[in-house]
Amino acid sequence: MLTRRSSEGAGLPAVPAGEAHGPASGDILDLRGLWLVLRRRGGMVAATVCLVLAITVMTLALIEPRYSATAVVLIDPRQQRVISAEAVLSGIGSDAAAVESQVEVIESSTLALRVIAREKLEGDPEFAERGFLLRLLEQVSVGRHSPVHDEADFRRAAVLDALRERMQVKRRGRTYVLEISVVSQSAQKAARLANAVADEYVAGQLAAKYRATERASQWLGGRLEALREQVYGAERAVEHYKAEHNLVSVGSGDNLLEQQIAEISQQMILARARTAEARAKFAQIREAASAGVGEPGIAEALGSLVVTNLRTQFAEAARRTAELGARYGSQHPSVTAARAQVDDLQRQIDAELARILAGVRNEYEVAVGREASLEASLAELKKEAARWGESTVRLRELEREAMALRSVYEQFLTRSKETLEQESLQIADAEIVAPAIVPTRPSYPRTGLVLAVACAGSILAGLSLAFALEHLDVGFRSIGQVEACLGVPCLGVLPVVQERPRPMPLAPQAAGRDASRSWLWSANRPADALMRILVEQPLSAFAEAVRKVRVGLRSAEGGGVRVLVVVSALPGEGKSTIAANLALALKVAGERVVLVDGDLRNPALTRVLAPHAEQGLIEVLRGEQPLDAILMEDKATGLTFLPTVRTGAVADAAELVETHHFDAVLERLRLAFDRVIVDAAPLLPVVDSRAIIGRVDGALLVVEWGRIDPAAAQAAIRTLAADADRVIGAVLSKVTTEGYRYCCGIGSADGGA
């Protein structure tokens, strides 16, 4: 026997409905799966793209184009000075707040009104046209106020709002460049208005500077007159005070007395220096004279060349006298003459010293007298200065007041002249570096961008819709999903086939008893061809898929499945067609095979393969007919078939398959054939198949591609309870051509079978 799972059969993995479209196990679509989804939903994606693009094109055709023109203005924070004087109105400044403030200035109502007046926009239909609400508000307001005045105000306000809505000013990054853009229905008008805004902004700057300079000039002129009178009065007060108090000023703010004191003080310093010098010289010479001529250093002390020369001659004469005395004796005439010469030189030296001493004494006495005279004069002047002290304090106060007033007056006078010069020379802090040019293409709508966005958006919408539908698709779509959901291997994927009646001579023969039961598979019925695809179209994809199921069946459970029941969760999933073709595949492979129609309630296989049969499995189970009398064989293929004939309602179908008679039938077939294929009823509607599965070696579950809910397939397996482990595999049936590629990932499928 087979290895059993849990007795409840409830170990199946739960698969959310959103995973019913996956091409493989897991949550992620691989690239091949994505491509296959696109192949399946490509028509819907293309239709979505075409619809969106068509709507976009029609919308673009209805939208009135608008043009945008941009003028570029540079805010120059540098001060251009033709003259050295500061301007009355300073520059804008270089900080970010100052530049952003200029954006607000350009967007202001004042500048916009100047542009409206300059370009006469109140008569322009594009700007002057008023909407319904504005006209209604105007009528309500006119009923309460002056009609003429309010109508003009409303019109001007409407034009102002329209212009400001169409105008945009922005700073280019963190630079000093401002972009002034204006949108209009006319390309020429857009460029003209952008340039008008820029011109009015620059002109407004110049006008502001002119007005400020003019106001400053007028104020300075009036102030100068008042200052001139004040200076004149202050200076007259100074002169009157000097005359009244006999104060003479010699310039630099000092009076004559002070200047005299300063001069005598300087002379006193010099006189004292000379007196000290004369005193020292007189004392030195007097000491030298008293010391005598023989004293060393006398010549240096005297500082006289005459004394020095005489001293030299005296020394020479004394030396010669000594030599002569030593040679001739003291009484020799030459010695006497030499002594006379020495005495004469001594007298000359004494006379010169006396003369020098007298001169030095005279100089000393003169210096002392001058010093005394200067001291007396200085003392007298100081006494006079003390008497004039109070008068000079008041004089200095008056002079300071006059000087301060004159300084203020001179500053105002200089500034007034500079301001007058600036009135004729004003330079704006902004300049138009790039005037607006007429645009060649509309800025709105941007057809290329809109179409590109619409195309991308439509593709995205189409893909989203495709994957959403794929996500909501609850049917099985892939082998991996079947295996992940049901917990059993998927033994094959069978493509959908067309019913093609192909007449073929058959040689039916009774299995040994009644020749009247020898017909099998009438070729005149279209459904017959579906049951014989394997032999009629052996090269089709369907036939190849059935052969793969045969190989998988032999491999399942080590090839020990001899009695196989083919079931499905719901009717119409193709289990009967698969059972018939699988039986043929096993027969063609050389096995002895019997095909049993085990659906006692709806024997569809019998209606197709043996429509004229009168008795079948039900009669055998009830003991009314022997098994050998019911079996039918097709001589063309050698396949044996056990039909089921339903002549009325079979209320005891479940009881019939649970009797020992059914076990006996299966045992006899097991002994007589290599493989028994049973086509049983669906699992969910009735309980017959549950009883049959408990008596066979294995079950093959057929699930229809794209139709059966994974939850229904799981529920069908769970109904088997302890016999759920007998399900050895599953088969995906009725897979379309595109679905076959999606499911298996192959390039093509032969759907012609």
Section 314-334 average pLDDT = 81
Q: Classify residue 331 as exposed, middle or buried by CB count within 10 Å of its CB (0-12, 13-18, 19+).
A: exposed
- The lowest-confidence range among 121-130, 468-477, 623-632 is 468-477
Most confident region among 237-241, 396-400, 544-548 by mean pLDDT? 544-548
**At which residue do the structure tokens 């976009």 appear?**
56
- Select the CATH number that applies to the domain covering 479-744 from these four: 3.30.365.10, 3.40.50.1220, 3.30.530.20, 3.40.50.300: 3.40.50.300
Mean pLDDT over each residue of the chain, to the nearest integer: 77
Backbone angles phi, psi at 79, to 5 degrees: -95, 115
How far is Cα 493 from Cα 476, in angstroms, rounded to an integer? 11
Other Cβ atoms closer than 10 A to 573: 24
Most confident region among 189-203, 346-360, 383-397, 518-532 by mean pLDDT? 189-203
Q: Classify residue 78 as exposed, middle or buried by CB count within 10 Å of its CB (0-12, 13-18, 19+).
A: exposed
Distance set, CA 323 to CA 317, 342, 344, 646 (Å)? 10, 13, 19, 194
- The lowest-confidence range among 148-152, 191-195, 252-256 is 252-256
Backbone angles phi, psi at 232, to 5 degrees: -60, -45
Is the model's pTM score more than 0.85?
no
Section 436-464 average pLDDT = 87
Quote the pLDDT of residue 422. Answer: 60
Section 310-321 average pLDDT = 83
How far is Cα 462 from Cα 473, in angstroms, rounded to an integer? 16
Backbone angles phi, psi at 429, to 5 degrees: -85, 0
Which residues on neighbouring strands pair with residue 698, listed in sequence order? 564
- Radius of gyration, alpha carbons of the chain: 68
Section 604-623 average pLDDT = 87
Most confident region among 267-281, 388-402, 730-744 by mean pLDDT? 267-281
For residue 10, give the H/E element and its range: none
Burial readout 414-437 (b: 16 or more C-beta within 10 A, e: otherwise) = ebbebbeebeeebbbbbebeeebe
Name the amino acid, one letter, at 465.
L
Q: How confident is the model at residue 79 (pLDDT cuts 50, 70, 90)?
A: low
Instruction: Of 182, 150, 161, give the one whose Cα is nearest residue 109.
Output: 161
Q: Quick check: 625 and 615 in contact, CB under 8 A?
A: yes
Q: What is the pLDDT of residues 624-665, one digit of tens each?
A: 889 998 899 887 788 899 998 887 666 667 788 888 888 899
How far is Cα 473 from Cα 19, in angstroms, rounded to an integer? 8
Q: Quick check: 738 and 36 in contact, CB under 8 A?
A: yes
Quote the pLDDT of residue 288. Answer: 64
Q: Specify the 3-state DSSP secondary structure of 460.
A: helix
Domain ranges for the chain: 22-63+445-472, 67-83+91-211+428-434, 254-422, 479-744
How far is Cα 167 from Cα 178, in angstroms, rounded to an integer? 13
Q: How confident is the model at residue 566 (pLDDT cuts 50, 70, 90)?
A: very high
- The lowest-confidence range among 213-222, 228-237, 511-520 is 511-520
For helices 710-718 and 479-486, the axis angle rounded to 10 degrees is 40
Quote the pLDDT of residue 134. Answer: 52
Section 248-277 average pLDDT = 73
How far is Cα 505 from Cα 518, in angstroms, rounded to an integer? 13
Alpha helices in 561-625 (DSSP H): 575-588, 604-609, 617-621
- The lowest-confidence range among 5-14, 140-149, 217-226, 363-372 is 5-14
Q: How confident is the model at residue 595 (pLDDT cuts 50, 70, 90)?
A: very high
How far is Cα 500 from Cα 514, in angstroms, rounded to an integer? 31
Choice between 607 and 298, residue whose per-residue pLDDT is larger: 607
For residue 719, give the H/E element and its range: none
Quote the pLDDT of residue 518. Answer: 39
Q: Classify residue 85 as exposed, middle or buried by CB count within 10 Å of its CB (0-12, 13-18, 19+).
A: middle
DSSP state of 686: -
> Above pLDDT 70, what percent of the chain?
76
Section 589-602 average pLDDT = 90
Instruction: Of 159, 80, 81, 74, give the one whose Cα is nearest residue 124.
Output: 159
Q: How confident is the model at residue 180 (pLDDT cuts 50, 70, 90)?
A: very high
Q: Specify the 3-state DSSP secondary structure of 225.
A: helix
Q: How confident is the model at residue 443 (pLDDT cuts 50, 70, 90)?
A: confident
Q: What is the pLDDT of residues 42-58, one digit of tens each?
A: 788 888 889 998 999 99
Q: Quick check: 299 and 308 in contact, CB under 8 A?
A: yes
Q: Quick check: 496 and 545 in contact, CB under 8 A?
A: no
Please enumerate in sequence order all residues whose Cβ is within 8 A of that of 517, keeping only pairs 6 or more positions apart, or say none. Answer: 510, 610, 613, 630, 632
Q: What is the pLDDT of residues 189-221, one digit of tens each?
A: 999 999 999 998 988 888 887 777 777 777 877
Q: Classify residue 267 as exposed, middle or buried by CB count within 10 Å of its CB (0-12, 13-18, 19+).
A: middle
Q: What is the pLDDT of residues 393-420, one digit of tens each?
A: 777 788 888 888 888 878 877 777 776 6
In the numeric block, which tokens belong to residue 255?
């009076």
Choice between 174 and 280, residue whose per-residue pLDDT is larger: 174
Alpha helices in 623-709 (DSSP H): 627-630, 653-657, 660-672, 688-693
> Above pLDDT 90, what percent of the chain?
11
- The lowest-confidence range among 11-20, 292-301, 647-656 is 11-20
Section 530-554 average pLDDT = 82
